[in-house]
Structure 1
């Protein structure tokens, strides 16, 4: 004879279990990185994706949910279903470093980031995240100290602490190369979301909960378990290319003038200035990738 459990009982069990998983694991598997740990993350981004001074990739993901009673269209997103937004940052090996769950699905990624605690800490309280001091880029002879930064897509603001791609309407070859180099690192967060989806079946269908707090508990538990698995049993990425390799560069002739121009470090600390500087830095022989000309220059 089967003995069933009521919806209310199951709901309490799920809420308590997922909250306990988060509380037990996050101090070890998702604590705020120290300055030394941020530096190790930056070194790993350079080792794997050849992007210097990058300390993370940020993006938001719409998590499908069943309509919460009396919520109206609060969670109805532009994709045509009800969702909550999971805002997350990760390192080069697709382990989450920061997450924030529960923002209404009708909001854009940029709006969620601005309203999130993560965004406030970066915009106004950077010291809360223990971010390291600016550091000179590898092979950069100007002597300027470049800020550490996160990478994101076009939905996010550009600032000294966050770089995003150039808009498609203004692209030239130099900017195409920058977008390509940025996307090599930015795909880390997409890979993290993809691995998380493939591991946890709860994300393959709309989360069935009438309580937004329970939904948030489930998402936190899923993210911390993702880190737990990646760090204990996951296969770390391996570098696919070494900048010291003697492969021929074959840079195109139309970029020779830009390649030969000396780098001038930005005098003003605006995100646009640092993006332009990094774009020209990627053209220099010691910091360019042989295959970037093939994939980016028509």
Structure 2
């Protein structure tokens, strides 16, 4: 699997913006447990917190759910953050060697500060200038909002069995502490927060959809 070029990342960011209206996004990052039989003489290395043996798939996906970068083979006992930090592409991210495009202004914000291109991930990962994660103290509010959104979508669109998966051999990776956060990373996240909450950047179709 070839590592994306700068032009590839720009194309991925375009796809994310067209589908989600979230700018400068070059991928979604997460790790999953792949269930395996216990390798010989491995002890508890592959035994994870969900009480089965696994190796970890760490991946970045584009807006079409296609894998762009993967790291496979870490022990099941490891956490997302540790696996990412020690993976080849994780090290490249921290060393600014992933071929991300140069910083650019967000759409309709040409007079603002240029912002870096980012990966989006959950709270298992450490905040970084190129990696956005949710605010830890907003987890309850986000969960409640997702429940309300779920009900809204179901009432509007109904239920489709094709939208669900009955089973999977992939399990979420354990969450652990992620350590200190760089000040610059906090500044990037705050800028994105202000951007999406600014009335001048509201999406034209929002009120129409809400009013249906």
Q: TM-score, normalised by structure 2?
A: 0.75
Correspondence for 1:159:
128
In 2, the alpha carbon distance for the partners of 1:275 and 1:80 equals: 35
Higher RCO structure (Cα 8 Å, ≥6 apart):
1
Task: Write 1 or 2 for the structure with the bigger share of helix.
Answer: 1
- Alignment partner of 1:102: what SS? strand
Question: Matches of 1:114 and 1:130 in 2, distance apart?
Answer: 18
Does residue 278 of structure 1 match 2:199?
no
- Match runs of 1:1-298 below 5 Å: 30-124=1-95, 126-127=96-97, 129-168=98-137, 176=142, 204=169, 270-289=184-203, 290=206
CA distance in 2, matches of 1:36, 1:271: 24
How many positions carry a matched residue from both structures?
175
Q: Which has the higher strand share?
A: 2
Instruction: Find the residue that maps to 1:279 and give its secondary structure.
Output: helix
Q: RMSD over aligned Cα, in angstroms?
A: 2.7
- Seen in structure 2, the aligned counterparts of structure 1 residues 145 and 269 have a Cα distance that, compared at 3 Å, is farther
Q: After TM superposition, which residue ranges in structure 1, 4 or more long, deviate above 6 angstroms?
A: none
**Contact 2:56/2:75, CA 8 A, preserved across alignment:** yes
**Runs of at least 5 residues in structure 1 that lack an aligned partner in the other structure:** 1-29, 181-197, 206-267
Q: Supply the distance in 2 between the matched residues of 1:169 and 1:132 (Cα, whole angstroms).
A: 30
TM-score after normalising by structure 1: 0.54
- Structure 1 Cα separation of the partners of residues 139 and 40 of structure 2: 45
Structure index of larger Rg: 1
The answer to whether the 8 A contact 2:34-2:169 is kept is: no
C-alpha offsets along residues 234-255 of structure 1, whole Å, 9 cap, x if unaligned?
xxxxxxxxxxxxxxxxxxxxxx
Q: 1:62 to 1:171 in 2, by over 3 A?
A: closer
